[in-house]
Amino acid sequence: MVTYAIGATMIFHGYVDAVDTVVSATSANFAGWAVIFASAAFGDFVRSHFAAQALYSIIDSCEKVEGGETPVIEGSVRVQKVDFSYPSRPDVKVARNLNLIAQNGQAVALVGASGCGKSTVIQLLERFYDPDSGNIVSKKRY
């Protein structure tokens, strides 16, 4: 409405014609709606920015084991006396004195109730996390 009022005044004084006023008012209307929709998504943008920062800090972090190669495991995998707790809850031990041996070609099933640590074992094997103590060893065959 303000745009039309200003446009009417400018038409009255001969600065613009009616077409320019309608085009200006429509443009202002579209710009206003764009700002409204963008501001509604601003909270999501801020949250995604912090989530992206957290992901990039993980991606850019150095491994504790430097200079090692990433081998193709064709031999056995041995988990020896592994203790582990997640960094977000260091006082809660998720794995205590965990031992596991998987031979080459052997099918191994991790079975248990929800929350018992099955996914944690896989994450440790994949080096998403390092154990607090103990070893995870692969015996490679070439």
Domains recognised in the chain with CATH numbers: 2-60 (no CATH), 76-139 (3.40.50.300)
Residue 2: pLDDT band by 50, 70, 90 thresholds? Answer: confident
Per-residue pLDDT, 22: 85
pLDDT for 132 beyond 90: yes
d(CA 17, CA 11): 6
* Contacts by 100-107, CB closer than 8 A, 24 or more apart: 101/76, 101/77, 102/76, 102/77, 102/78, 103/76, 104/74, 104/75, 104/76, 104/141
pLDDT tens-digit series, residues 72-98 = 657 788 999 999 999 999 999 989 999
Please state, rounded to an integer, the average pLDDT across all residues of the chain. 84
d(CA 137, CA 119): 18
The rounded percent of the chain whose pLDDT value lies above 70 is: 89
d(CA 35, CA 140): 59
Residue 142: pLDDT band by 50, 70, 90 thresholds? Answer: very low
Q: Of 108, 82, 80, 110, whose CA–CA distance to 95 is shortest?
A: 82
Bigger pLDDT: 7 vs 48: 48
Per-residue pLDDT, 42: 86
